[in-house]
A and B are shown apart, each in its own frame.
Chain A
Amino acid sequence: MYAYSQLDQQLVEQRVEQFRDQTSRYLAGKLDEEVFKQLRLRNGLYLQRHAPMLRVAVPYGVLNSTQMRALASIARDYDKRYAHVTTRQNFQFNWPALEAVPDILARLASVQMHAIQTSGNCIRNVTSDPLAGVAADEISDPRIWCELIRQWSTLHPEFSFLPRKFKFAVTGSRQDRVASQVHDIGLQVIKNTHAQPGFRVLVGGGMGRTPVIGKVIQEFLPAADLISYLEAILRVYNLYGRRDNLYKARIKILVNAIGIDSFRQQVDSEWQQIRESELRLTEEHIRQVSDSFKIYRYRKLPVGDTGLERLLHGNPMFSSWYRQNTREHRQPGYRIVYVSLKAHGQPPGDINDEQMDHIADLADQFSLGEIRTTYTQNLVLAHVEQSQLYDLWRALGKIKLAMPNIGTVNDIICCPGSDFCSLANASSIDISSDIMNRFEALDRLYDIGDIRINISGCMNACGHHHVGHIGLLGVDKKGEDWYQITLGGSATNDTALGKVLGPAVIKADIGRAVEQIIEVYVELRQPGESFLQTLDRVGRGPFKERIYATVN
């Protein structure tokens, strides 16, 4: 966990006072509506359908228990006793009063948190691997680089009014758990033949209205050049990205318009002039940031039998949860635990204040006081001793957070949709609820296996529908909610954009349609074949036939 320096703390506190001043000028009628909009967005504040929505930054998805308790207290004191984990690892409050936001920010600052650049046309909060530093397949811990990017991009005077929003994702593992290929910039930490760390740099990926897979602009960028290279990309984008059309302003449009080779050339010629400047990362600077991360104090644990095997054999429910919700930890005797926020009857990613407080306690008791958020809208307790898994599972069960459904059909990524968001064309939460109700039986869920279903209420694609194995996009047809279905998307190493299956399906039939898609898969799959493999082999025909024979 990164600990704030004096600089970090002062800057965040000054930002709170700056925003307090902006808000009071707005409320006094001394700040223009449109100007305040741009200023508040850069501090994560939207004015939504029912009330303002405040998006709190969780840099690269890591929280400590004190911060979680502060979030719980905000949910209790300023909101309707719950919060929402977003698809960019942030926390969102849906009901704060505008007047109260400066006080909320002050409370956040007191626990080393903020809402800086969680919205607006600027460099957004950097996302990363929820298993950073603990994953067994990690090449290099991405958090140090995320923190360096966070510092460089925070209130950067040159890049605070970009043509459009700008999103980074950083992964340091062989398995991509950050969707690095569908971000404005995706960074994959790798090592060269001399075992020196560096980055494979992707640029111009993204979802939204025009989904694009990122293109490789650098096969190996030495670590010391990270910031100078990013600055070169951002400068080219700031100067030459389109500003005449909101929908053509993302960097992906610029990269596609001039071609990746020409874009690379422009970036290189800019980079050559700043590469040897103060932007070059010194070993000392990297060490300084690295030292600001507290080292995890693991215990030396016996590798052998800890009684876990016996408990797993004796308890099928615990065993399902273990299989579905825990992962290998690189430290012997430890296990990574996913806490599912996908309960029946709950909007995906929602968590109430009591659950937040309990999770903070459980993190202190079982996981070195740390909690992570995932872009799939779940939580992670990353450092649990194997011998304590059973106790943790029981404790999670008591607060309804032991759903053994990570990776299954019910682990749906879902935006808030038209229930909350003023951009949405259609609802999404009730669709996810409909789907979850269809797959309530765990035996059936496990028999189906891992399938990613992603739902967005509009083409801004906050629900990542393009990269769902099954993606649903809400569209408005004459005041009614309809849903376009895409199949074959993926956001991992084999990133692909889903293809539209056919005409949109009306709300009343969409849950059934998703169920039919899954039935076709189960009928046609060969032993051991994943959904994407089956789709690849049989094509979209059988899915299409089944759905459109019965609906519309």
Chain B
Amino acid sequence: MPPLISHNKLIEDDWRPVGDDQIIGDGEKVIISLARLRQQWDALARMHLTLAVELEPTAAVDQLVPFLDHLEMVVLHFDTFTDGRAFSQARLLRGRHLFSGDIRAVGDVLCDQLSFMRRCGFNQFQLAVDQDIDLAFRLFADISRHYQRASLGLVTE
């Protein structure tokens, strides 16, 4: 598995990502798609699950809003490191919808972008496989001064 950083520590991933046609057991800790969440919500809500949703870069954050109180984590996807949509998605989740669970970056997650991600509200980072973990910790705050104020959930320290 690619290394996972959470709250500035390297951690083991105890989440299980499940495909839309995979079976979920009672009380499991799973990452599901937005489509499954919306289609099977009534059933899922009765299963005592610990839930996370993975949102595609094309999906509107608004679709997730009715469910946010029931989610431990939202997973946002970088198809390529140059695709910056997840930065906006994270900011909307944190700043506008006041989501207080974890926001995890997955996909093409590069050390050199961690400080931007962190400032937009991400707090879990599943690094791309070729990324160096020591470098990641070093680059979290390679620039410590910012012009943008704490507006709308932007992390400023």
Contacts and interface: CB of A to CB of B under 8 A. Distances in A.
Given A14-B145, A39-B112, A121 B88 contact: no
Nearest to A243: B83
A278 B147 contact: no
B2 to A, nearest CB: 16
Contacts of A239: 85, 88-89
B84 A279 contact: no
Contacts of A519: none
Q: Which range contains the number of B residues in contact with the other chain?
A: 20 to 34
A235 B96 CA distance: 13
A60 to B, nearest CB: 16
Contacts of B65: none
B7 interface: no
Contacts of B119: 157
A16 B148 CA distance: 19
Given A30-B132, A161-B81, A161-B87, A14 B143 contact: yes
Interface in A55-91: none
B39 interface: no
Interface in A1-49: 7, 10-11, 14-15, 17-18, 21-22, 25, 30-32, 35, 38-39
Given A238-B88, A274-B152, A277-B152, A161 B145 contact: no
Contacts of B96: 273
Given A22-B112, A38-B82, A279-B151, A11 B87 contact: no
Interface in A156-172: 156-162
A273 B132 CA distance: 39
A182 to B, nearest CB: 25
Contacts of A14: 142-145
Contacts, number: 88
A238 B84 contact: yes
Nearest to A160: B116
B87 A18 contact: no
B85 A238 contact: yes
A155 interface: yes
Contact of A159 (B84, B135, B144, B147): B84
Nearest to B79: A243
Nearest to B154: A157
Contacts of A25: 135
A298 interface: no
A161 B84 contact: yes
A175 interface: no
Contacts of A160: 84, 87, 116
B91 interface: yes
A15 B84 contact: no
Nearest to A274: B152
B45 interface: no
A161 B151 contact: no
Nearest to B115: A157
B71 to A, nearest CB: 20
A92 B94 CA distance: 40
B81 A15 contact: no
Interface in A258-274: 273-274
B139 to A, nearest CB: 8
B84 A10 contact: no
A11 B148 CA distance: 12
A151 interface: yes
A160 B154 CA distance: 14
Nearest to B78: A161
A296 interface: no
Interface in B95-148: 96, 110, 112-113, 115-117, 119-120, 130, 132, 135, 142-148
A152 interface: yes
Interface in A263-309: 273-274, 277-279
Contacts of B82: 38, 121, 161
Nearest to B61: A239
Given A157-B119, A238-B87, A273-B96, A35 B81 contact: yes
A238 B87 CA distance: 9
B143 A15 contact: yes
B116 A157 contact: yes
A460 interface: no
B147 A152 contact: yes
A156 B149 CA distance: 10
Contacts of A154: 147
B87 to A, nearest CB: 5
A15 to B, nearest CB: 7
Interface string B15-38: 000000000000000000000000
B88 A18 contact: no
Nearest to A30: B132
B84 A155 contact: no
Contacts of A10: 144-145
B10 interface: no
Interface in B46-102: 81-85, 87-89, 91, 96
A243 B120 CA distance: 21
B63 to A, nearest CB: 13
Interface string A296-324: 00000000000000000000000000000
Interface in A475-490: none
Contact of B83 (A21, A31, A151, A161): A161
A15 B112 CA distance: 12
A421 to B, nearest CB: 22
Interface of A: 7, 10-11, 14-15, 17-18, 21-22, 25, 30-32, 35, 38-39, 121, 151-152, 154-162, 235, 238-239, 243, 273-274, 277-279
Given A35-B112, A161-B82, 14 more contacts: A7-B147, A14-B143, A18-B142, A22-B112, A155-B147, A157-B116, A157-B154, A158-B91, A160-B87, A161-B81, A161-B113, A161-B116, A277-B152, A278-B149
20 contacts: A10-B144, A11-B147, A14-B143, A14-B144, A15-B143, A18-B142, A32-B130, A38-B82, A39-B112, A121-B82, A156-B148, A157-B116, A158-B87, A158-B154, A160-B84, A161-B81, A161-B82, A161-B83, A238-B85, A278-B149
